[in-house]
Amino acid sequence: MEGTLRIIGMNIHRVAAEVVSLLDGEIVKRGRVQMLRNNLEEFARRELTHDDHLLIETAGNATAVAEVLSPYVDRIVIQSQAGAHDRAREGEARAGVSFLRHNHRQPTDGAT
C-alpha cells in the first residue's frame, strides 16, 4: 500500500461508530466499533496503519476518540455533523470520506 493514501471514515454515535475506508476510489464498509477504549485500541491495532488518514464525523465530542486513535494514524480530521445537510444515517461516514478526499491537503504543523 506504499504511496497510496487510505482514508478511514468513522461516524461516531453514543455506543458505536460506523467505519468505512476509501482506497483507490473504492469505499469499503468496515463495520461497527463499540465506543470503549479497549475496543477502539483493538480496532486500531488490527485495522489502522501509520499512513492512514482518519476522518471522525460526530454529533458530539470526538476528542477522546481522536486521542486514543492518534498514535495509529498519520492524520485525523474531525468533522461536525452540524455541517452535514440532508444525509441519511447510513451514508454519513461515506459522505465524510468523500469530503476528506475532495478537500485533502497536506498536513501542516500541529495538524492531528
Closest by CA to 79, choosing from 7, 23, 24, 27, is: 7
Provide the grid cell at 88. 441519511
Which has the higher per-residue pLDDT, 27 or 88?
27
First to last CA, the chain: 22
pLDDT over 70 percentage in the chain: 66
All residues at 6 or more sequence positions from 59 whose CB lies less than 8 Å from its CB, including other chains: 12, 13, 80, 81, 82
Report pLDDT for 87: 45
What are the φ and ψ backbone dihedral angles of 73, each rounded to 5 degrees?
-130, 170
Parallel/antiparallel/unpaired status of strands 53-58 and 75-80: parallel
Confidence of residue 101 (pLDDT cuts 50, 70, 90): low
Length of the chain: 112
C-alpha cell at 28: 469499503
Its CATH class, for the domain covering 7-102, is alpha beta
